[in-house]
Amino acid sequence: MAKSRDSGGRYETGKTITTKSQFGSHADMVVDHNEYGLTLEDGQVLLQDGGHFYVTKSNRLDDGTADPARYSGRKLYLEK
């Protein structure tokens, strides 16, 4: 008898994606890192995904692929 797959509880009722894609990084998500007192390396940008922030490489923006920095779960919790 075949086993059914458990979705692992990934779907949350009422959760809406407010960005262009669920896992990609986009230029409209970039925020000014200076407002939060962060120093980034060359080629890095600070992005906001809902209420969370993360740092990624600028060449990951709008490239059509999933960004590991976004979906990895390593979020920054920043205050102004």
pLDDT for position 51: 77
* H helix or E strand, kind and range, residue 52: strand 52-57
- Residue 72 tokens read as 């990895």
pLDDT for position 70: 85
pLDDT for position 79: 75
Those residues whose C-beta lies under 8 Å from the C-beta of residue 9, and which sit 6 or more positions away, are none
- Residue 1 tokens read as 């008898």
Diameter over CA atoms, the chain:
58
> For 28, how many CA atoms within 13 A lie in the half-sphere containing its CB?
5
pLDDT for position 73: 74
Residues of the chain with pLDDT under 70: 1-18, 80
pLDDT for position 61: 94
pLDDT for position 26: 92
